[in-house]
Chain A
């Protein structure tokens, strides 16, 4: 082993240790627990190895399947909206104007607020008696006030909205970095050719920013698959399971019902879903980056 390699090893070691302790170990432990029947409230049953029983139950549990659908709608809608809004924000922030530095910093504020805090804020905003949401819509006509978080159709939309508000700026940040790698000469050449602003966006910006868009989409998809805090604070999975996302369902199984084994199986299911998604995206992004390299 070369000296520099040995030195590198020492630098990597602390991270390997931390990732192992706080990520790998809990994942393996959840996987192990998911093969057991383990119920906190019934300690006399002991921990019984049941093989794949929890997973078989999961596949036929109508609540879990509903919950999967709720999660997929949330992931699809929020990730897509976040990348779109993020793209808009990035395009704006990429233009030069006065106080651009300030605007770039300001955009990051929602992202920097802990989710639990911003969820609490949105819970107040959507309150059916004193919420700002109702005041903006109906003013003083309090008899028309809605209770979005108590309505099975509005509650998922409210949660998606809160997520888009909070994390679009993260997507914007990645996309902005992508925009800045586009050389100015390309736009100058387009100007010489007499391209319109739309044509420049469509033919120059979009193709070149595609890897950044995909990267933003990857991060947002995986991250929104793990949604928990928003639901925990804003709706507790209600009304009538309309926002019962998988992570929250797993949490309820473990902490409210004490079903450690079954809850772990749900957690592992979410983990596998994210894993598969990541692989798909990475292949997609890898391919598009290669394409770009070949074109040069």
Chain B
């Protein structure tokens, strides 16, 4: 009797799992463990669905190439995928990402941070639902600034002067003024854009579809980074830094100022990992005189593949991941900036993460990199230019900038066909 029962149960289980439709989710490895929990809860709530995770590389650039390759092959084994904030225009234009307007109406979009929604729109439709929102911001050593009677800097030259005052006063060997990300990679574009935009320059002229890096404002900002940020108050090592290395310098107590994304707050204030826990402040990035602070917008969105066989079911997963209750859980769990505005006013979240108040201001003011289907080639040109311009002390910035503009003009020219049609 008992074996028979077991067999019956097994048969039931098999038929059940056969009925559960699989949703393939291309994601990166997530180390805080919340993804696993959320997927388990989603499956408990939706017994007819099963999420299969397809784990891609951690680096955003490599993740992009993987997803792009799946699209190129019209891969039906990808339903939901993560998108970096700079990809929606490209994936939309290529016809790879599904427009989500029927699932994600304008009224619902209003619940999210407007900058994040803007980054997900392309020629009148929406292609992704923001999950995480990042914005470039400035961390500073509140203990050091207090000791010298300084307020967080509002302008870049002020930042350099404060750093020099503190370094001269402290006489700590190895203490530097600033740590940011100046390696040749996408993060370099974010960092440099924050200087250029806050000097009223632009990465390129979106209306005229022409490069604008050789404009006076842009060149002045780049020169400032080369001569004063990298040249005066940082160590040469920043030229090889991405986020983790630059943050390590700050958490070791060896940098006065640090540019990073909101995630760094928790790490910098974790006494286990950081020597400066409790001595860290957060503020919008400085600007140049007459300019406005311009933190780069970053973050991750969920999209549905055009080649998915079951977009309706895929949407149920995205809806679950981005609904208010889940977003609040993610915020409480990770301390990372989420996309729904309401979470930043939630009493429970604010009690645990008081920095969400400042973070909200900064995220609201964040500036996306201009959405365009040809972002990747443009970014590659900019990365080469910025890296060459700031790493050599005597670089010919004007000549390099004009070359970059010329190369960008050629790529931007490709978009004109669209405008004429």
- A-side residues, CB < 8 A to B, are 39-45, 63, 147, 150-151, 236, 238-241, 252, 255-259
Could you list some 6 contacts between A and B, CB below 8 A? A43-B93, A43-B95, A45-B417, A150-B240, A241-B384, A257-B374
Contact check, B414 vs A45: say whether CB atoms are below 8 A apart.
yes
Residues of A within 8 A of B183 (CB): 150, 239-240
Majority DSSP secondary structure for residues of A touching B: loop
8 Å CB contact of A236 from B61, B68, B90, B417: B61
Q: Which of B59, B69, B240 has the most CB of A within 10 A?
A: B240
CA distance A258 to B89 in the complex (A): 14
- What 9 A-B pairs are tightest by C-beta distance, nearest first? A41-B373, A240-B184, A257-B377, A41-B94, A257-B376, A41-B90, A255-B65, A150-B240, A256-B65
Contact check, B376 vs A44: say whether CB atoms are below 8 A apart.
no
How many chain B residues touch A (Cβ–Cβ < 8 Å)? 29
CA distance A42 to B93 in the complex (A): 6
Minimum C-beta distance from B57 to chain A (A): 9
Given known contacts A147-B240, A151-B240, A241-B384, A256 and B376 CB-to-CB distance under 8 angstroms:
yes
Contact check, A255 vs B377: say whether CB atoms are below 8 A apart.
no
Known: A240-B391, A241-B184, A256-B68. 7 other contacts (CB 8 A): A42-B417, A63-B384, A236-B62, A239-B184, A252-B65, A255-B65, A259-B377
Total CB contacts across the A-B interface at under 8 A: 67
Majority DSSP secondary structure for residues of B touching A: helix
CA distance A45 to B417 in the complex (A): 7
Residues of B within 8 A of A151 (CB): 240
Given known contacts A236-B62, A256-B64, A256-B376, A44 and B421 CB-to-CB distance under 8 angstroms:
yes
CA distance A236 to B66 in the complex (A): 13
Contact check, B72 vs A42: say whether CB atoms are below 8 A apart.
no
Residues in B286-303 with C-beta less than 8 Å from chain A: none
Residues of B within 8 A of A42 (CB): 93-94, 373-374, 414-415, 417-418
CA distance A45 to B415 in the complex (A): 9
Residues of A within 8 A of B64 (CB): 256
Question: Quick one: closest A residue to B185, CB to CB?
Answer: A238
CA distance A84 to B90 in the complex (A): 48
Q: Which of B377, B384, B418 has the most CB of A within 10 A?
A: B377
Question: Quick one: closest A residue to B92, CB to CB?
Answer: A41
User: Does B380 sit at the interface, judged by CB under 8 A?
Assistant: yes
Residues of A within 8 A of B380 (CB): 252, 256-257
CA distance A240 to B384 in the complex (A): 7
Residues of B within 8 A of A252 (CB): 65, 380
Minimum C-beta distance from B42 to chain A (A): 31
Residues of B within 8 A of A150 (CB): 183, 240
User: Does B308 sit at the interface, judged by CB under 8 A?
Assistant: no
